[in-house]
Amino acid sequence: MDKVRLLPSGVQGLVPTEAVLSSFTMNRSPIVLDLCRELEKRNLFEGPTLVYSAVFTPYENGTMFACLSQMLQPKSRGTVRLQSTNPYDPPAIDPNYFEDPEDLKVVVEGMKTCQRIATSGPMRKVGARPFETVFPGCEEFVGDEDSYFTCIARGGVVTMSHQVGTAKMGDPRDPTTVVDPLLRVKGIEGLRVVDASVMPIVPSGNTNIPTIMVAEKAADIIKETIQCSSCGFPHYDQYAEST
């Protein structure tokens, strides 16, 4: 059953939905809807100012809320690469949004749920109604809900928060991993990574508590290593020698 949980923050409620059954995981819901108060809207679209100006500016003096369709378990995977050997150069980041078409389908279904919430009887009773402004570049799709929401998703997709996976943990023989199961950086002696970057997949929720648990586990691993240097997995170099 879907539920609304109120939080003491800018996000006023989270609605786990069953948008697409094929996207189910052990976390049960492939998507979550964030219900944000009006003070959040400018921060959400700080980058694409054209979008903010076209969609939100006409309503700046009024009261509004935003219902955001967020992927919890995206199947698409982006990349973060070095642009050069200069450590001061920014990295080359490719979010690779919607590489898997299933992600787009799930987000659009979430947007439809937002629309149903905004036009529901209880919301109409308090005077709520969807924006009448049109998302820039999607004018030709007005009147076709699927096509219009798909256009909005493609043009307005943003990364909200809780990024992980830039130093993926896993089997040292896997070329996509950076650290082994003991958080040791492959090929470098005496260096571990202990933060959200080691998570191989995005957790369905805030990364705060999972990161604390990674740190707690790392502390235990380091203490065990000090007490017994031969315990645990062999170092990456030993893996490399045996393959």
The one-digit pLDDT tens for each residue of the chain (243 residues) are 445 444 444 444 555 555 543 333 333 445 555 555 444 445 554 445 777 788 878 887 777 777 888 888 889 988 888 999 999 999 999 999 999 999 999 999 999 998 998 899 998 998 888 888 899 999 999 989 999 999 999 988 888 778 899 999 999 999 999 999 999 999 998 899 999 999 998 888 789 999 999 999 999 999 888 766 666 566 656 655 555
Residue among 146, 148, 72, 160 at smallest CA distance from 105:
146
The residue type of 39 is L
| pLDDT, position 106 | 92
Query: Looking at the DSSP assignment, which residues form a beta bridge with residue 15?
Result: 33
| pLDDT, position 177 | 94
16, 3 Cβ separation under 8 angstroms:
yes
| pLDDT, position 59 | 80
| Tokens read off for 175 | 């070329």
| pLDDT, position 231 | 60
| pLDDT, position 195 | 96
| pLDDT, position 23 | 36
The question of whether 235 is a catalytic residue gets the answer: no
Distance, CA of 6 to CA of 181 (rounded, Å):
36
Residue among 68, 70, 89 at smallest CA distance from 29:
70
Which of 75, 112, 162, 168 is an active site residue?
Answer: 162
Distance, CA of 167 to CA of 180 (rounded, Å):
10
Output the CA–CA distances (angstroms, integers) from residue 135 to 51, 112, 147, 239, in the order listed: 7, 15, 12, 53
Query: Which residues 6+ apart lie within 8 Å of 22 measured at CB?
Result: 102
